[in-house]
């Protein structure tokens, strides 16, 4: 387990290229692909301090998603490069709240053209939030480790 004095960062970014499997037949990212991307963002925050979900689970700490909200502003397409911006908004003894921006950073091998109506002026194609609750192996609410919430 990680050093209990090393709290994960409150924000981070993860970059990825959209894969074909994440898209519908028109080459547009399917709405279901955003949830794994958000999980990747959360996971990378933990990795920055040498921790993983697997290690948390081995210690009997399970983080389950209890709420998800996504607002889709513009479509993301196959082979686009995106940046997942993840931020911890609030942490309590039992819940973690994250917010996300999914931003387009490359399309067709170059920076997106903000004058293109298919590209938002700020580059952010989707905004989202999640709420996670901490439970034990029995599925009942459990206090998070202090290091995880910054106590």
Residue 36: half-sphere exposure toward Cβ, Cα within 13 Å: 10
Token readout for 41 is 């963002």
Residue 25 and residue 102: Cα distance in Å, rounded? 21
Angle at 141 between CA 138 and CA 146, to 5 degrees: 115
Question: Is 122 one of the annotated active-site residues of the chain?
Answer: no
Catalytic residue among 3, 24, 89, 122: 24
Name 41's Cβ contacts closer than 8 Å, sequence gap at least 6. Answer: 12, 13, 14, 84, 85, 86, 98, 100
Helix (H, G, I), strand (E, B) or coil at 47: helix
- Which residues are catalytically annotated? 24
């Amino acid at each position: 387990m990680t050093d209990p004095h090393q709290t994960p960062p409150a924000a981070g970014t993860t970059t990825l290229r959209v894969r074909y499997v994440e898209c519908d037949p028109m080459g547009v990212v399917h709405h279901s692909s955003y949830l794994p991307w958000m999980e990747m963002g959360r996971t990378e925050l933990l990795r920055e301090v040498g921790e993983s979900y697997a290690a948390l689970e081995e210690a009997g700490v399970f983080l389950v998603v209890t709420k998800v909200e996504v607002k889709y502003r513009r479509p993301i397409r196959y082979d686009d490069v995106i940046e997942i911006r993840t931020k911890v908004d609030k942490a309590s003894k039992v819940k973690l709240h994250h917010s996300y921006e999914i931003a387009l950073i490359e399309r067709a091998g170059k920076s997106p053209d903000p004058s293109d109506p298919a590209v938002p002026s700020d580059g952010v194609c989707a905004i989202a939030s999640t709420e996670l609750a901490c439970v034990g192996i029995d599925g009942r609410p459990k206090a998070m480790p202090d290091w995880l919430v910054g106590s």
